[in-house]
A = this chain, B = another copy of it.
Amino acid sequence: MELQVRLIQFLFLLTILQHSSSARILRIDKPDWHDVAASARWLVSQNIWGVLSTLSIEHQGAPFGNVVSFSDGLPGEGKGIPYFYLTTLDPTTRNALKDSRASFTMSESPIGTCKMDPMDPTCSKLTLTGKLLPLDEGSEEEKVAKKALFTKHPEMMDWPKEHDFRVFKLEIVNIFLINWYGGAKSTTVDEYLRYKS
């Protein structure tokens, strides 16, 4: 009997540990692959980090990818626009302030629903291309974005004040999604932003 209790306790602990990193996300089932806008929005709402690529000042315009955390809204209320909390101590921020062209890339792999290799077309991947722009401090959008970021990434609230973090957004101009066989799927920015789950 004691063993049973211990096993149950262990299982419980294991479950907590498994879900601790995703507790800030409202889990939504993967949409049908035919629904391109839904699939793209799902990847953005279910991921908490991705790779933000800018044009490197240090490396003469080479593309520079950097791991960053992001949020597109409160859990379950994302609007599809990725917001970031960046400091000019980071080359990505300095690059973007010089040339705002950027892309933001996410994989389905961290969500845990891929059954195949991360590069298999059934393991979705999304690249949003656009402009990485700082939000006006004190603006309405900055307040909303900050709340979205701090809710999914509470640690951000404790990041050093002297590092001068600011809120940026990716203004999306193109959506590149692969979520099934047959090459990139087509959707417009308008369809993507208008999508409601």
A62 within 8 A of B: yes
**Taking the full assembly, how many copies of this chain does it contain?**
2
Chain B nearest Cβ from A145, distance in angstroms: 15
Q: A63: which of B64, B67, B116 is its contact (CB, 8 Å)?
A: B64
A155-B116 contact given A125-B67, A174-B59, CB 8 Å threshold: yes
A119 near B68: Cβ-Cβ < 8 Å: yes
- Which residues of B lie under 8 Å from residue A3 when comparing CB positions? 4
A64 to B176, CA, bound (A): 10
Chain B nearest Cβ from A175, distance in angstroms: 12
Contact with B along A27-67 (1 / 0, CB 8 A): 00000000000000000000011111111101101111111
A153 within 8 A of B: yes
Q: How large is the interface on A (under 10, 10 to 19, 20 to 34, 35 or more residues)?
A: 35 or more
A66 to B125, CA, bound (A): 8
Chain B nearest Cβ from A47, distance in angstroms: 10
Chain B nearest Cβ from A67, distance in angstroms: 4
A127 within 8 A of B: yes
A26 within 8 A of B: no
Chain A interface (Cβ < 8 Å from any Cβ of B): 3-4, 7-8, 10-11, 14, 21, 48-56, 58-59, 61-69, 85, 89, 91, 101-107, 109-110, 114, 116-120, 125, 127, 129, 153, 155-156, 173-174, 176, 183
